[in-house]
Amino acid sequence: MDGQEVVAQAAQVIHRARYLVALTGAGLSVESGIPPFRGPGGLWTKYGEPPLNGFQRFLADPQKAWEERLNPNGPMRELWETLVNAQPNPGHYGLVELERLGLLRCTITQNIDNLHRRAGSELLAEIHGNATLVRCLSCVHRMPLDAVDLSRLPPSCPRCGGLLKSDTVSFGEPIPPDVLRRCQQEAARADCMLVIGTSGTVYPAAGFPLDVHQRGGTLVEINPYETDLSPYCAVVVRAPAGAALPEIVKAVRALRSN
């Protein structure tokens, strides 16, 4: 099947969906200049997978963890530096358009880069948090990092006095209950899921497309490379998201105007 045919097939599936949800990963932000974690150019490919006890290390010495967060080095420095200058790309805007057409009911993103919000996505669940926010580990209250008094580390929650941490979910850290519940509810309602720019290797996020497939739902993968989820996808668009999504949205608009 050639590129145009698979774009048309993806548009058909989206147009017919009763409840469409998207799951996005680091690949969607590659065309914004942010490296992915795995695969070509991936941070973990370059530096090796990070330790899986980041959260435990934070709890053991929150002050040291905050100092590292504010003066990162190694892979995290590279990631923060690209985050600062990154702009949403046509892939992010394509999802905003599907949301504004009333087709896309929720975007579940694994990305912490804030680009979905900056592009205008409103029906959004940030399962791994947002790098511009800080979260209280006791009451789950979130606030912008630049609104927090960092004169004393670690900072305390202005509401309950609890320990504040970057909203970015660390390895070993439970997904905050409010966002996990939202993701589970949205995935449970989906009869169609767009799987965009994710290697499908980190759970619980990678489990949502499998749940949709298990219930007889349809998966559409948008990714230049094969992933663990590819075999479950009825439609596979082997292309960069920034190129494919605008084409798919254009084809959806054409179907809706017929």
Catalytically active residues are: 128
Positions 10 through 29 that interact with ligand APR (CB under 6 A): 25-28
* 126 versus 157: smaller Cβ distance to ligand APR: 126
CB atoms within 10 A of CB 68: 16
Residues 73-102 that bind ligand APR (CB under 6 A): none
CA-wise closest residue to 230 among 196, 203, 189: 196
Q: How far apart are the first and last CA of the chain?
A: 24
Pick the stretch among 52-60, 74-82, 217-225, 250-258 that binds ligand APR (CB under 6 A).
Answer: 217-225
Q: Is residue 7 at the binding interface for ligand APR, with CB under 6 A as the rule? A: no
Size of the residue set binding ligand APR (CB under 6 A): 25
R_g of the chain, CA atoms, integer Å:
19
Contact between 197 and ligand APR per CB under 6 A: yes
Closest CA to 50 of 237, 202, 217: 202
Q: Which amino acid is at 77?
A: R
Residue closer to ligand APR (CB basis): 85 or 151? 85
Closest CA to 133 of 84, 180, 167, 164: 167
- C-beta of 124 vs 157, nearer to ligand APR: 124
Among the listed residues 157, 241, 245, 249, the single contact to ligand APR using CB under 6 A: 241
Q: Which residues, including other chains, have CB under 8 Å from residue 70's CB and lie 6 or more apart?
A: 150, 153
Say whether residue 114 binds ligand APR (CB under 6 A): no
Q: Can you tell me whether residue 114 is helix, strand or coil?
A: coil
Q: Which of residues 129-188 bind ligand APR (CB under 6 A)?
A: none
Q: What are the φ/ψ torsions at residue 192 (nearest 5 degrees)? A: -150, 135
**What is the crossing angle of helices 3-16 and 241-257, to 10°?**
60
By C-beta, is 28 or 251 nearer to ligand APR?
28
Give dist(CA 46, CA 41) in Å, integer.
7
Choice from 34, 39, 108, 221 touching ligand APR (CB under 6 A): 39
Q: Is the CB of 154 or the CB of 242 nearer to ligand APR?
A: 242
C-beta nearest to ligand APR: residue: 27
The residue ranges that bind ligand APR (CB under 6 A) are 25-28, 30-31, 36-39, 42, 110, 128, 197-199, 201-202, 222-225, 227, 240-241
